[in-house]
Amino acid sequence: MSAYVETRTVDADEAEQRLDRWFKRHFPAVGHGQLSKLLRTGQIRIDGKRAKANQRLEAGQQIRIPPLGDAQPHLQFAKPARKDTETGAELIEAVIYRDDEMIAINKPAGLAVQGGSGTTKHIDGALDSLRFGYSERPRLVHRLDKDTSGVLVLARTQRAARRLTHAFRAKSALKIYWALVVGEPKPTNGQIELPIGKLPGKLGEKMAVDHENGQSAVTRYVTLEKLGRRAALVALSPVTGRTHQLRVHMEAIGTPILGDGKYGAAEAFLQGEGISRKLHLHARAIRIPDEDGVPIEIIAPLQDHMIRSFDFFGLEPELDGSPFEPFEE
């Protein structure tokens, strides 16, 4: 449980969820009575305003979380945690696009998007550094796994968060990932349609193909380069947005993403002095419409660990052509 006041941003996947159910998911140890008291006394707030248990959330809203250790009244005045200025400086360096409505960063691999159990360094905790003169704090409108690098879009206002969230949910935003995988996908190009569900247990979030209870999940893929049957460079476009979808789907067809020990186990690693053991999954590009419907294309350069592995396999880090081309209709 938190010992300080903290702020969490509602993710796009959590839009329309009731506040009490959001709390149940994020803080399962907080009982109904305790939650009701915190709401009644105004200690839990949404965008600075009092909230109700049945309130429906919107993507980009910011939820004030009071200290939850023992819910003792005197703890509500505990000072908030210090701003993460170090991570904030990293984010400023990582900005690759900015306009009046959105900011895009090239998220470093290994940096979590939001906090969780044992995670104190994350993007959500350092977003104040990306105000760039705005009174509002930037808001998350989608997520990337902690170990995935690449394009992450942030809304600069609550109004922008609503529009951008709708773009992601309506599939008018096209996301392209690059992945180095172990082995060669067969067929070379195709579409994976396998439902995904969460595995039971308390050892960290892990997903799996689940034909009985899983949610529909669809991934399109195109093999860009074959690397002597040992590996391949693949472009991936998620049609749905399930947790760990690309990682689960690539493992399911027998080509785990290089460095993905969580899903591919030992088979996800290759020997070679120039091959990093980090996850080789990069959100390469995103195409998203602006307020007038004009598409904006944002491309994130590869990060160091993937550049080294590209060099090992003799690949050009940027390759020729548009990253969107394999998925153009």
Q: How many CB atoms lie within 10 A of CB 279?
A: 27
pLDDT over 90 at 32, yes or no: no
pLDDT level of residue 69 (50, 70, 90 thresholds): low
Question: In whole angstroms, what is the distance from residue 88 CA to residue 81 CA?
Answer: 14
Question: In whole angstroms, what is the distance from residue 161 CA to residue 47 CA?
Answer: 13
Of 161, 167, 216, give the one whose Cα is nearest residue 192: 216
CB within 8 A of 143, min separation 6: which ones?
11, 12, 13, 113, 114, 152
Domain range summary for the chain, segments of one domain joined by +: 6-77, 85-169, 174-327
pLDDT by residue (tens digit) across 116-174?
667 778 998 899 999 999 999 899 999 999 999 999 999 999 889 989 988 988 889 99
Class of domain 6-77: alpha beta
Q: Which residue has the higher pLDDT, 318 or 251?
A: 251
pLDDT over 70 at 249, yes or no: yes
Q: Which residue has the higher pLDDT, 321 or 11?
A: 321
Supply the pLDDT for residue 294. Answer: 93
pLDDT level of residue 262 (50, 70, 90 thresholds): very high
Lateral strand order in the sheet of 49-50? 6-9, 62-65, 45-46, 49-50
Class of domain 174-327: alpha beta
Supply the pLDDT for residue 80. Answer: 41
pLDDT over 60 at 70, yes or no: no
pLDDT level of residue 94 (50, 70, 90 thresholds): very high
Same fold, 6-77 and 174-327: no
Pairing of β 281-289 and β 149-155: parallel
pLDDT level of residue 3 (50, 70, 90 thresholds): low
Known catalytic residues are: 145
Q: Which residue has the higher pLDDT, 187 or 21?
A: 187
pLDDT level of residue 7 (50, 70, 90 thresholds): confident
Mean pLDDT computed over 212-228: 95
Question: In whole angstroms, what is the distance from residue 158 CA to residue 172 CA?
Answer: 19
Question: In whole angstroms, what is the distance from residue 227 CA to residue 309 CA?
Answer: 12
pLDDT level of residue 26 (50, 70, 90 thresholds): confident
pLDDT by residue (tens digit) across 270-329?
988 889 999 999 999 999 999 889 999 999 999 999 999 999 999 998 888 899 999 986
pLDDT over 70 at 2, yes or no: no
Class of domain 85-169: alpha beta
Supply the pLDDT for residue 178. Answer: 98
Supply the pLDDT for residue 265. Answer: 95
pLDDT level of residue 75 (50, 70, 90 thresholds): very low
